[in-house]
């Protein structure tokens, strides 16, 4: 199965978490027709991953003027410094999605290049009209200590997963965070599709860990919000499995 068949791709799709948000955005954008890539938070410079980036305070005008060769199209409001752009507010991104006839793929939180995280009080920045949210974690964190080397805000993860900073990160802990309304499912609109992604499943050991994460996520998801869990190595454009509830 291809990534665009396993993951949500219609309408306004937000990615959150850590361990492959940007890879997910760019992989999907380059496989879908007329995709837009944007953000509600800071995003590293991504000009090399799309056909064109429009840096504009009026993304609706830029979108209206785009032709077929401009897609996948990046839309951002401002270049903050040499290595990153700022993001739009959620209302602007919602307006872009409303005006566009293709998918709008959104980076909706930050992780400082870590493999796992839980959101801060100000995150995620998800438009209320989002059609789907994809919470992400890397299979590589399973078995590692809960520390800043691999985890963004380990104290937040500890609180959500009910473990201590410095403890070994188990598959069960990752699954609990992905499925928690204080973790991967925080602020997901009630009618939005929620599909978890365990990324960086590079070998058999990673696959075993990822399957355990998926099982733990379903066990922890008492509200039944997760539609499925996708196991993938998106750096290679590869889906390992799709696990249904």
* Domain regions of the chain by residue span: 3-244
Please say if the pLDDT value at position 205 is more than 90: yes
Please state which of the ranges 109-118, 131-140, 189-198 shows the lowest mean pLDDT. 109-118
* CA-closest candidate to residue 200, choices 164, 156, 230: 230
pLDDT digits (tens, 9 = 90+) for 63-103: 999 999 999 999 999 999 889 999 999 999 999 999 999 99
Q: Is 178 exposed, middle or buried (0-12, 13-18, 19+ CB in 10 A)?
A: buried
Q: How far is CA 62 from CA 53, 75, 236, in A?
A: 10, 8, 32
- The mean pLDDT of 54-69, rounded to a whole number, is 97
**Is the C-alpha dihedral spanning 73, 115, 151, 129 positive or negative?**
positive
Range 3-244 has CATH code 3.40.50: yes
């Amino acid at each position: 199965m291809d990534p665009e068949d396993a993951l949500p791709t219609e309408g306004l799709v937000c990615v959150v978490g850590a361990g492959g948000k940007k890879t997910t955005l760019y992989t999907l954008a380059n496989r879908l027709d007329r995709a837009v890539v944007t953000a509600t938070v800071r995003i590293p410079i991504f000009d090399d991953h799309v056909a064109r980036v429009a840096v504009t305070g009026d993304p609706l005008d830029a979108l209206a003027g785009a032709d077929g060769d401009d897609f996948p199209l990046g839309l951002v409001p401002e270049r903050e410094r040499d290595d990153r752009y700022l993001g739009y507010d959620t209302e602007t991104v919602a307006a872009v999605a409303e005006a566009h006839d293709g998918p709008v793929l959104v980076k909706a939180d930050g992780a400082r290049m870590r493999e796992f995280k839980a959101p801060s009080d100000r995150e995620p920045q998800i438009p209320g009209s989002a059609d789907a949210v994809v919470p992400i974690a890397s299979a590589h964190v399973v078995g590692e200590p809960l520390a800043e080397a691999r985890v963004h805000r380990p104290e937040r993860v500890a609180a959500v997963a009910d473990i201590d900073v410095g403890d070994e990160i188990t598959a069960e802990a990752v699954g609990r965070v992905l499925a928690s309304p204080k973790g991967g499912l925080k602020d997901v609109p009630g009618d939005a599709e929620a599909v978890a992604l365990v990324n960086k499943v590079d070998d058999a050991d990673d696959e075993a860990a990822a399957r355990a994460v998926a099982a733990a996520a379903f066990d922890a998801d008492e509200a039944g919000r997760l539609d499925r869990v996708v196991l993938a190595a998106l750096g290679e454009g590869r889906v390992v499995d799709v696990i249904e509830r």
